[in-house]
């Protein structure tokens, strides 16, 4: 039968609603719901029947269910109350009312149906309709003695692959070595400290953290799972323990350390700058990991379930995990590894760029670091060692800009020819080893290595690396012409590369303030700077019909032209002939490899305060195989003044080509 809001009369006495009796059942239920919406669990308890209250105290109810609702992050509670017509009256003391409940939780939206049983009971306030409450009022399938559990569903960070599918960054596993609190004595601490390269003070500091209790596992050091000898030694110490730990893995190690970067636990500053992270999350710290963090980042799922003592658990809300996006880059990991090995630990950098597509095939910085150490959590002592190393292995050299030295000369020639200021076949008569424009230069002179007995053409100037010839070409082109021409090659303008390398510059202020600066720039000194990636990219104009392609890092991006019509095919042919001559009979003869037609330009960039002084020298070699010009390699070695100048760079490039030729076969 239905329960109506009206007077029920027996004889002359009014017994129920509307005539001084208790409110209708739905009114009592609405009061309970309002307390719930206000998170007033104490108030909710006052609407329970005596039988319910005998099952749980107010304190127990308040603490337990307030904590549960807080843990599941209950929000936007919505309860659809029944109308008068929906109420079923079993008898004068019992009514049943349907409820529809909705809420947001940490695991997503949750909705369920519940039938509320209301009983009419005598209270201090008179007769009231009270709820015969049980835990399923709060969550579906929840009953006395059950436990509410929240489980994180692990998602995986996106992986990074090279152009051929080789793994640059993947999700792996390491071993955390630690101690069971309360189970290790001082002798054990000393023994374990020695094995792990720690001190007993380090171990005691970890054990003294506020969360540590006897029996808890306290991690001390994370090591590669392949380091079985260390793990075995540590495990043999009484009180020591190990635990598996998910970590990022970098198969190419130091060879690609600066390229891949690494992940680490997010810090307070990063938390402020990045939305969607919580303390303890991993985030890209350097390299590709940082550059493509948004794409690579995973989103863990979560589920709320009811853990029943003698039944299967019941999942009541679930947010699926979302793996990060895999990234495929243009890098050739085998080339990257080979180039890094051929650097032999020398301070320097190398970049390889495909001229027709703009694909960046290698980005090498030497020396380097093993990103696996950082991903596992590098010990402070080890980090200090890297930081204090005079060769600066933490410095990313392929992102830096250097003086190009004589490798700039083919670019100067291209600019001068495009401006109509240089006839490549008409010889310039140049006498002596030093030259100046006029007396206004004072004691300043441009110096070349060897004299010429015949008029100097572009080809012979490239082979002999004639500084005076290219200084003259720059002056003939003029400040405005050189500036415009160099900008067309990408100097002094934004470099459209995904990886943040330092942009190339024409001069410190972007102008040629003097003829001396203009002349020096012509042969790659002055204040001109470039990254090796841009330099290799720029040489692509000679191999790609006068077009420089946009440098490409993501393999899914479409190739596109960056700068066009920089040089005619006839002019490019003369430059290429000269670059081959540099290897056949010039300063790069060591790279004249049988079966290949290596061509290129050497450079020695002098880093000094003034003419006549000595300073640091960097050796450069930009090269390609004319028989198979599938990439341009720009290689630089720092501080080569006492080691043979640019020949050091030539030798390393030669060693790479020899091995790469074998690899290609």
| Summary count for the chain: helices (H), strands (E) | 22, 26
Using CA of residue 445, residue 449, residue 452, residue 457, what is the dihedral sign?
negative
Q: Which of 368, 406, 460, 646 is catalytic?
A: 406
- E strand spans, 459-578: 548-549, 561-563
How many CB atoms lie under 10 A from the CB of residue 290?
16
Question: Cβ distance 393 to 368 under 8 Å?
Answer: yes
Residue 359 is classified by DSSP as B
CA distances from 529 to 55, 190, 364 (A): 80, 53, 18
Residues 507 and 446: their CA atoms lie apart, in Å, by 18
Residues 550 and 498: their CA atoms lie apart, in Å, by 10
Question: Cβ distance 459 to 578 under 8 Å?
Answer: yes
Instruction: State the angle between helix axes of 333-343 and 646-664 in degrees (0 to 180), rounded to the nearest 10.
Output: 140
Instruction: State the angle between helix axes of 515-522 and 467-477 in degrees (0 to 180), rounded to the nearest 10.
Output: 130
Residue 329 is classified by DSSP as B
- At residue 653, the 3 state secondary structure works out as helix
Burial class (CB in 10 A: 0-12, 13-18, 19+), 437: middle
- At residue 631, the 3 state secondary structure works out as coil
Residues 411 and 539: their CA atoms lie apart, in Å, by 8
Residue 47 is classified by DSSP as T
Residues 237 and 328: their CA atoms lie apart, in Å, by 44
Question: Cβ distance 42 to 64 under 8 Å?
Answer: no
Residue 12: both structure tokens together = 């002359």
Instruction: Note the helical H segments in 509-633.
Output: 515-522, 532-543, 569-585
For residue 618, list its beta bridge partners: 605
406 is catalytic: yes
- E strand spans, 82-158: 88-91, 94-105, 108-123, 126-131, 147-153
Instruction: Tell me the pairing of strands 13-14 and 75-80.
Output: unpaired
Q: What radius of gyration do the chain's Cα atoms show?
A: 38
Residues 123 and 40: their CA atoms lie apart, in Å, by 21
For residue 230, list its beta bridge partners: none
Using CA of residue 515, residue 519, residue 521, residue 527, what is the dihedral sign?
negative
Instruction: Tell me the pairing of strands 160-161 and 327-328.
Output: parallel
Q: Which residues are catalytic?
A: 406
């Amino acid at each position: 039968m239905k329960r109506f809001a009206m007077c029920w009369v027996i004889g002359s006495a009014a017994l129920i609603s509307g005539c001084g009796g208790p409110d209708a059942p739905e009114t009592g239920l609405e009061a309970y719901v309002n307390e719930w919406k206000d998170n007033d669990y104490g108030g909710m308890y006052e609407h329970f029947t005596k039988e319910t209250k005998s099952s749980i105290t107010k304190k127990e109810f308040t603490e337990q269910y307030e904590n549960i609702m807080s843990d599941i992050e209950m929000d936007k509670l919505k309860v659809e109350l029944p109308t008068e017509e929906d109420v079923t009256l079993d008898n004068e003391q019992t009514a049943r009312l349907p409820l529809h409940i909705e809420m947001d939780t940490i695991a997503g939206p949750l909705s369920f149906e519940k039938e509320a049983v209301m009983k009419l009971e005598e209270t201090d306030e008179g007769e009231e309709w009270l709820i015969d409450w049980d835990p399923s009022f709060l969550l579906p399938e929840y009953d006395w003695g059950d436990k509410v559990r929240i489980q994180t569903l692990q998602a995986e960070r996106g992986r990074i692959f090279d152009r051929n599918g080789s793994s640059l960054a993947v999700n792996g596993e390491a071993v955390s070595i630690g101690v069971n609190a309360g189970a290790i004595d001082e002798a054990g601490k000393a023994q374990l400290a020695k094995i792990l390269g720690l001190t007993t003070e380090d171990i005691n500091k970890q054990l003294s953290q506020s969360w540590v209790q006897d029996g808890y596992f306290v991690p001390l050091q994370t090591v590669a799972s392949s380091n079985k000898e260390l793990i075995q030694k540590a495990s043999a110490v009484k009180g020591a323990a190990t635990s598996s730990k998910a970590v990022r893995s970098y198969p190419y190690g130091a060879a690609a350390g600066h390229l891949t970067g690494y992940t680490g636990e997010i810090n307070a500053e990063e938390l402020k700058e990045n939305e969607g992270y919580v303390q303890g999350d991993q985030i890209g710290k350097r390299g590709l990991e940082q550059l493509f963090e948004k794409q690579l980042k995973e989103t863990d799922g979560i589920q709320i379930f009811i853990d029943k003592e003698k039944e299967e658990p019941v999942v009541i809300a679930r947010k699926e995990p979302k793996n990060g996006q895999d990234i495929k880059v243009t890098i050739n990991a085998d080339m990257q590894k080979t180039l890094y090995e051929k650097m032999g630990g020398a301070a320097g950098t190398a970049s390889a760029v495909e001229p027709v597509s703009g694909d960046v095939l290698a980005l090498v910085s030497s020396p380097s670091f093993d990103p696996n150490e950082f991903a596992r959590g590098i010990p402070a002592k080890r980090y200090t060692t890297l930081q204090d190393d005079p060769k600066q292995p933490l410095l990313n050299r392929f992102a830096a800009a250097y003086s190009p030295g004589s490798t700039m000369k083919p670019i100067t020639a291209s600019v001068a020819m495009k401006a109509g200021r240089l006839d490549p076949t008409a010889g310039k008569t140049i006498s002596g080893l030093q030259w100046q424009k006029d007396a206004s230069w004072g004691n300043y002179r441009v110096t070349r290595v060897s004299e010429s007995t015949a008029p100097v053409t572009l080809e012979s100037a490239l082979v002999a690396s004639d500084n005076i010839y290219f200084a003259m070409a720059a002056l003939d082109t003029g400040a405005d012409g050189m500036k415009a021409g160099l900008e067309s090659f990408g100097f002094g303008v934004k470099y459209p590369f995904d990886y943040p390398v330092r942009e190339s510059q024409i001069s410190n202020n972007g102008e040629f303030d003097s003829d001396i600066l203009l002349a020096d720039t012509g042969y790659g000194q002055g204040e001109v700077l470039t990254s090796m990636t841009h330099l290799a990219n720029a040489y692509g104009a000679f191999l790609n019909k006068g077009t420089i392609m946009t440098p490409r890092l993501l393999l899914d991006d479409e190739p596109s032209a960056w700068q066009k019509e920089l040089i005619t095919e006839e002019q490019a042919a003369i430059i290429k002939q000269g670059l081959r001559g540099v290897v056949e009979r010039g300063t790069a003869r060591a790279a004249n490899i049988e079966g290949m037609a290596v061509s290129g330009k050497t450079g020695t960039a002098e880093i000094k305060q003034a003419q006549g002084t000595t300073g640091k020298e960097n050796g450069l070699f930009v090269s390609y195989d004319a028989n198979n010009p599938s990439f341009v390699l720009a290689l630089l070695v720092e501080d080569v003044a006492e080691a043979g100048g640019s020949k050091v760079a030539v030798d390393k490039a030669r060693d790479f080509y020899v091995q790469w030729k074998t690899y290609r076969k």
